[in-house]
Each structure stands twice: as C-alpha cells, then as structure tokens.
A and B are shown apart, each in its own frame.
Chain A
Amino acid sequence: MVEKYLEGYILLLTFPKGIHPDGHKHLTEDEKIAVMPVPAKVFIPVLQHSGKPAEPVVKVGDEVAAGQLIAKAGTSGANVFASCSGKVTAIEDRPCTTGKCAHIVIENDNKNKAITLEKLKSPTPEQIIERVVYSGIVGMGGAGYPSGSKLKQNKKIEVFIINAAECEPYINCDNRLMIEHPGEVLDGAKLLQTAAGAERCVIAIEDNKPKAIASLNEYNAQNNTGVEVAVLKTKYPQGDARRLIFAVTGKKVPQSSRSTDYGVMMNNLHTAYAVYQAVREGMPSYSRVMTVTGGGIKKPSNLLVANGILYQDLIDHCGGLTGDNIAKIISGGPMTGKAVLGTDYAADKTSGCLLLLTNGEANTENPTACINCAKCARVCPVNLMPMYIDLYHRAENLDAAEKYGAASCIECGCCSYVCPAKRPLVASIAHAKNKLKERMKK
C-alpha cells in the first residue's frame, strides 16, 4: 500500500517548479478520432514549418492527387504535399498564424485519388531518414522543426525520447492517438530510434492520461517492442524539451546547448505516428489529428484533419459556436498557442488544437502595476526573475535584463499565468530576448 502510494505520487518523474493549470482535458478525452471530410476547397500554406517557405512546384490549373508533392523545400524547411485530389485553382498570399505566406488553393474533385510511396518492411536507418526528409515530416508538437534535419547528425545518441507529455490544457490529440493506435505509435517510435541509432527509446506520458498509458502497456505486453513507457507527474511545462529530458534522464541541458550533445534526442508523439505512416504506409505528411475544443464550440471533438482546411469549416463541422461570447480563437494550446483574428486560417502540420475560449475562460483582464510578489520567479522552470526582466526591459536596460536571464527564457508562459497583476510578462521577456539576439548579431 505504502509502496503503491510512493510509486504513484512521490517517485514519479518530473522537473522542478512549474505550474498546475486546470486541465480541461475532459472535454475531448473520450471523443474518438473522427475523419473530417475534405470541403470543396483547401488552402495549403507553403510555410508549415520553421525555416524558409517551400517553393511551389505546381501551376494553376494542374490536376493533383492527395500525397503529391506540391511545394519543394529549399535550403531549410520541409516538403509540402497535396491533401486531396483536385485542381489547383490559385496560388495566393493569405494570412497564416506566423504572418503571411503563399497558399496553394486546391478545388476538391471528390475522386479521392491518392499517391502512395513504396512501403518499407525492414528499412535501414538511411532509408528511414530519406523517407522522413522527403515526406516533409516536421515536429508536430508546435515548433515545426523539420525532423529530417534533426535525425541527420552523427552524434552518439543514448536515449530517444518520444514526447507524449501533452502538458498544455485542453489538447487531447496525442492522448487519443495513443489510445486508438498504440501499435502504430510504438512502431513509429521504434523507427525513429533506429534512424537515430539510439540505445533506448522512451515514451514519456503524464499521469493524467491513464487510458493512454494502459493502452501502450497492453500493446507492449503482447508484442515486445522494447520501447519503454515513462510515467510523469502532471505539471506544466513538462512537454518542453529540456524539462522533459531532465524528468526522464536527470540531465540538465542548458538553453545554450543542444540536447544531442548530451546524448538525447526528442520528437513529438504525433511525429512518431507520421513517421510510421510515411515508412510503413508510404503516406507523406499531409494530415494530422487535431483537437477542436474550448467552451465556445458546441461539439468539442478530435478530428483527423487534412492540411489546408479552414478553421471555419472545422467549426461548422463541430456544430458551430455556442454563442456570442467568444473572446479568443487560438491556434494551438492556451499556454503557447497563437491568437488569431477570425476563422480564415488554414490548418497545417503543426496545429494540434483549435481552441475557442469564451470570456469566462480566457484571461481578459488588463494588467496592473507589478506588486513584486515574486510568484513568477517561484514558478519559472528556468530559474529566471521575470519581474526584473520586464522592469528593466521597459526601462530599455538590456544589460540588466540579460543579467536576470532574459536570453534563457523558454517562453512557456508560467510567469504570466500566475501573475496576480496579470502582467504580460512572457511577451515582454520574449521581446527582450529578440532584442538581445539582434544585439548579438551586430
């Protein structure tokens, strides 16, 4: 009994500090992943990753099939594929969550033609990496870093960590993937481990997803995959790479160095699923599971969404809005997602969540004066002093802001979350961080 208690509560892996926001996971926790039908038109952005936008390789009027390469990656970036069969009707600039980029507009012809690549039964590491690079797979947790570039390195990797912490409130896409497709996810993890040449592979899950843990363990018991399942204490920002590495391996990776220097590589769980699809099913990355949730939507659900479907179509599919009190529409989670003005944005590879927050849920308070309570410093997982960085940044004293750690900020938002004065601390620190970067370049 005592041992069980210890195992359950004290011995669980985690990292120091951080916050415990309300999960709100129950909204979509038990909603099965449903396939979102492709509407009449999709708008596929050529910038769905970090790096440079991909170059379109199709012209207006071309007939394309799902899975066909429509934009090729430049020096940095990832390939972009058509998500439905039909005709390219336009290539136009539209707003996307990171600003503005070209979107390839495809008119759906409902013929459901699809191109698949060769299915690999027992691929070599090189074959996997080649397939990952070609398939345009990016980090699907939100950062969008091309996975191929990550795998193409020659450092010795001890542990490959699959990030299934999903620490942000509301989101459930990784959770549902683990519950419904444990085999695929574990196989994808195994493929990533092979590609990176890692000795161990660990899937890290927070303990607020008991069904997912049970599902993976059950599959592991039947087919010995060799992928370990690590259960973590639920805390935000557990999904941050360096926090998760500390929780799983105990290694402290500073913001200035790469995790591969410490023998660790990490990828998101959905990325592992995308790798499985690309290698075993020959399907490039052009769709993903997305959680459409929040108090503002009538029917919160988990959907398999093809790239380029507009948010408005998703909202209509989920029964529309509950009322007039929508305060914020957010692409991504409530802690690090981007607020958007309107529903005219297209879903892409990195958007795991469409969140519609009502006035009651979203923080709509105006900031007041800092009372120096140091609650921000107490929760900062990187040991910064956000109140001083904010203060000195506003006073345009960048040296002092740097001294209190502005350059090490991971922009998790814990400081803003706990601030009783509702100050936009993380925005201020991120601004200071960018200014410091610019100064470094000079």
Chain B
Amino acid sequence: MSELILSAAPHIANKNSTRKIMMNVLIALVPSIIAAIYFFGFMVAVNIIICIASCFGFELLYNLVISKEWNKAGVKNSTVWDFSFAVTGIILALNLPAWFNFSNQAMAAGIMPKAIDIIGTIGVCMLGSLVAIVIAKMLFGGIGRNFANPAMLGRVFLFLCFPGAMSAIGADGIGMEATTGATWLVDRSNSGLAGNLLDMFIGNTGSAAVGETCAVAILLGLIYLVVTKTIDIRLPLIIMGSTAVFALLLDGLVNKITGMDLLYNMIAHMLSGGILFAAVFMATDYSTSPNTFIGTAIFGVGIALFTMLIRVFGSYPEGTSFALLFMNVLVPILDKYIVPKPFGQKGQRKQKKVKAAETKAQEAK
C-alpha cells in the first residue's frame, strides 16, 4: 500500500480551483478583447500583452523579494500560478485608451512621433500594472485580501495622472481609428455619431477605455460567467437595474427630460461609459464584493447611485471607477454589520419578545 493520507473530513471535494475560476474569467473576457481590437486597432493587443507580462513580472518579483528564494522553488511556490495576474492585466488594458498621446505634448513635430507614442503607451501600461499588482494587491496580502479591485485602482491612478487621455476629452489626435470621438457622456447630442443607440450597443463609438464600448461582447462574457457559475448574475442585474432607475430619477427628472427622450436617456446611460463592463467584470471581483446577498444588493445600488451622481452633478463626465472604488472600501463594513443569523436562531428583538411573553405567563400563574 502506498502512503495513506490522514486528514480531517470531508475527504472529497469538487473539481473547482482558483485557477479554473480565473480561466473562466479569461475566457469570458475574450469577446471584449476581440471587440476592442476590432474597434480600436492593433495597439490594444500590444497593451494587453504588455499589461499581462508586466503584471506577471511584478507579482513574481514581489513574491521572490518577500520569500528571498531566488531559485526555481521560489518561482514554483509563488502565487502567480493561479493566473489572477492575467485577469488583472487584461481588465486593466481594456480600461485604458489604445494610445497615450505624448508626441503632441512633448515634441509636436519631432522625429517619429508614432514611435514615441508607442513607447509612452507601453510605459503607461507598465506603470498601471505596477500600481495594480504591487500596491493594490500584493501589499495588502495578495489574492483575496486586496481592499479594491487592482485593475480599478490602476485605472484610477492613471486617470489622475493623465486625465485628458483617460476621459476622452482630448480624443483628437490620439491616433484612434475611425471611431475616434468623444463619448455620449461628454457630448450629449443624440443626433451625433456618438449618440446612436445601436452603435452604442455594438460598440461602434468613441470611448477612452477600449473594453467598455461593446455591450454585445460584455453580455457574451456575462452569459459565460453565469453558465459556468463563476459569478452570481444578481449583482450585475442589480447594478444595471439601479443605474436605469437613477438615470430616470437623477438625470431625467432633475434635468427635465420628457417623453421618449427620457427612455433614450436611460438606455444611453446604461450603455455608455464603463458601467456595464464594471458591473460584469469588476464589481463581481470576489475579494472586493460583499459576501451576503443583502450586502451585495447595497453594494450594487451604491455603485449605480454614485456613478449617476458623478455623471449628473460631478465635474467628470464618467464616474464608474470612483463609484466602484468607493463601494469597494465600504465592503468590509457591509460584511461586518450584515451577518446572516444561523439556521433557526431568532433575532435579538424576537428573543426579547419571547422572553417577555414567558415572564408574563409566569407572573399570571
């Protein structure tokens, strides 16, 4: 007989693993990657490769620095093999514009402005990966312990560093393909190129973040994630549903939009900006979403509320990333105060009632 294993029950487990979950997310991201490359050009592919590679590099490097095992065993024992770095890398790349324009700022008519743009964009991608992996994820304890979605934090960091490129206000000259243009959120005229709902649904519209335009691709990913039971469909539904409601209440009523425009406005709000991509791929991040259903509902409604508040009243045209970041930070509090009661156990109020009734009955005797 070979060596027997002595361990606590249960002795069987399902075949799921962290790596399989990450693989499912990667597969779900494929339609969005294809759509982004189709609409925004080859540079998206370069960005994705750079982001994945640098996320891998930074996570491995961090592991080796911490463990001080600069050998094969150190590499083998590092946390990179669960492939969560790839998810972070791809989501980060899909949240960035295809190009960061340095040639305009630095050397307007210099030599090979395109080459400078490429090098600059690659540098920005690496910087974003550094912030995402090292600061947001590894410094807080690695997978499962990060306080905010790493890709989201990387995006917000780059957004604050390069606000022009990231909010697509200065979209001209960045070097996008034919679909270059400001998003509907920046230029609210439903007659323009950016305002066609069908174009918005397919993704044929200008945007800063390359991954968030194509609703079809994101929905395909959502279906795959739900079918493989990787995520719970209720969270994306809550976020999108409350986005619609808040679009009616905050934007529709406050700005006095009437009639069919109200409906158009609502759908346009749901389809533009990063809300759909964030609802499917970023809000559902395990470690930064609440672990109870009630908590999840509050989390989802909160994301939609703050997104709409920033869009309608804020100074930025788009606020999904800030809303998500804010709600991410709230998650530990939600999980602290919303704890389900064990099966059959009565709440404190009910227990008091029962006790009061018992003492009354005794007194009556």
Chain A contact residues, CB within 8 Å of chain B: 19, 21, 169, 242, 246, 252-256, 321, 324-330, 332, 334-342, 355, 357, 361-365, 368-375, 377-378, 381-385, 387-388, 403-405, 408, 411, 413, 416-422, 424, 426-427, 430
Distance, CA A365 to CA B7, complexed state (A): 11
Q: Does B9 contact A (CB under 8 A)?
A: yes
With A21-B12, A321-B1, A337-B9 given, can you name 16 additional A-B contacts, CB distance below 8 Å? A254-B343, A254-B344, A254-B346, A328-B11, A334-B11, A335-B12, A339-B6, A355-B11, A368-B18, A370-B144, A372-B287, A405-B342, A408-B343, A416-B9, A417-B13, A424-B7
Give the 7 A-B CB pairs with smallest separation, nearest first. A413-B10, A254-B344, A252-B344, A408-B342, A427-B8, A363-B13, A374-B291
**B130-143 interface mask toward A, CB cutoff 8 Å, 1 = contact, 0 = none?**
00000000000011
Residues in B with CB closer than 8 Å to A329 are 4
Given A369-B143, A373-B286, A383-B341, also A337-B12 (CB < 8 A): no
Residues in B with CB closer than 8 Å to A378 are 232
Q: Looking across the interface, which residue of chain A has its beta carbon closest to that of B331?
A: A372
Q: Looking across the interface, which residue of chain B has its beta carbon closest to that of A253?
A: B344
Chain B positions 1-37 with a Cβ under 8 Å from a chain A Cβ: 1-2, 4-14, 16-18, 20-21
Q: Is the CB of A338 within 8 A of B9?
A: yes
Partner of A426, one of B10, B14, B21, B232: B10
Residues in A with CB closer than 8 Å to B143 are 369, 371
Residues in A with CB closer than 8 Å to B12 are 21, 169, 334-335, 357, 361-363, 417
Give chain A nearest CB distance to B250 CB in angstroms: 31
Residues in B with CB closer than 8 Å to A337 are 9, 11
Q: Is the CB of A326 within 8 A of B4?
A: yes
Chain B positions 273-324 with a Cβ under 8 Å from a chain A Cβ: 286-287, 291-292
Distance, CA A169 to CA B339, complexed state (A): 31
Q: Looking across the interface, which residue of chain B has its beta carbon closest to that of A17?
A: B343
Given A371-B18, A372-B144, also A383-B342 (CB < 8 A): yes
Q: Does B79 contact A (CB under 8 A)?
A: yes
Give chain B nearest CB distance to A337 CB in angstroms: 6
Q: Is the CB of A330 within 8 A of B291?
A: no
Q: Does B117 contact A (CB under 8 A)?
A: no
Q: Is the CB of A324 within 8 A of B2?
A: yes
Distance, CA A373 to CA B339, complexed state (A): 16
Residues in B with CB closer than 8 Å to A370 are 144
**B106-124 interface mask toward A, CB cutoff 8 Å, 1 = contact, 0 = none?**
0000000000000000000
Give chain A nearest CB distance to B86 CB in angstroms: 15
**B210-247 interface mask toward A, CB cutoff 8 Å, 1 = contact, 0 = none?**
00000000000000000000001000000000000000
**B321-346 interface mask toward A, CB cutoff 8 Å, 1 = contact, 0 = none?**
00000000000000100011111111
Q: Is the CB of A327 within 8 A of B5?
A: yes
Q: Is the CB of B9 within 8 A of A420?
A: no
Q: Looking across the interface, which residue of chain B has its beta carbon closest to that of A243?
A: B343
Distance, CA A331 to CA B1, complexed state (A): 17
Chain B contact residues, CB within 8 Å of chain A: 1-2, 4-14, 16-18, 20-21, 79, 82, 84, 142-145, 232, 286-287, 291-292, 335, 339-346
Q: Is the CB of B345 within 8 A of A416?
A: no
Q: List 21 A-B contacts (CB under 8 A).
A: A19-B14, A246-B343, A253-B344, A254-B344, A339-B11, A341-B4, A341-B6, A362-B12, A363-B10, A369-B145, A371-B144, A372-B291, A378-B232, A383-B340, A385-B339, A388-B291, A404-B339, A405-B339, A418-B14, A422-B17, A427-B9
Give chain A nearest CB distance to B327 CB in angstroms: 15
Residues in B with CB closer than 8 Å to A417 are 10, 12-14
Residues in B with CB closer than 8 Å to A341 are 4, 6
Distance, CA A369 to CA B18, complexed state (A): 9
Q: Is the CB of A362 within 8 A of B11?
A: yes
Q: Looking across the interface, which residue of chain B has its beta carbon closest to that of A416?
A: B10
Given A337-B11, A377-B292, also A327-B18 (CB < 8 A): no
Given A371-B286, A373-B286, also A387-B8 (CB < 8 A): no
Distance, CA A417 to CA B13, complexed state (A): 4
Q: Is the CB of A328 within 8 A of B4?
A: yes
Looking at B8, B335, B344, the one whose CB has the most chain A CB atoms below 10 A away is B344
Distance, CA A334 to CA B11, complexed state (A): 5
Distance, CA A93 to CA B82, complexed state (A): 47
Q: Is the CB of A365 within 8 A of B342?
A: no
Partner of A256, one of B1, B2, B11, B345: B345
Give chain A nearest CB distance to B343 CB in angstroms: 4
Give chain A nearest CB distance to B352 CB in angstroms: 16
Give chain A nearest CB distance to B134 CB in angstroms: 17
Q: Looking across the interface, which residue of chain B has its beta carbon closest to that of A357?
A: B11
Residues in B with CB closer than 8 Å to A387 are 291
Residues in A with CB closer than 8 Å to B5 are 327-328, 339, 362, 364
Give chain A nearest CB distance to B26 CB in angstroms: 15
Q: Is the CB of A419 within 8 A of B13?
A: yes
Given A337-B11, A362-B11, A365-B13, also A377-B291 (CB < 8 A): yes
Residues in A with CB closer than 8 Å to B11 are 328, 330, 334-335, 337, 339, 355, 357, 362-363
Q: Is the CB of A324 within 8 A of B1?
A: yes
Residues in B with CB closer than 8 Å to A327 are 2, 4-5
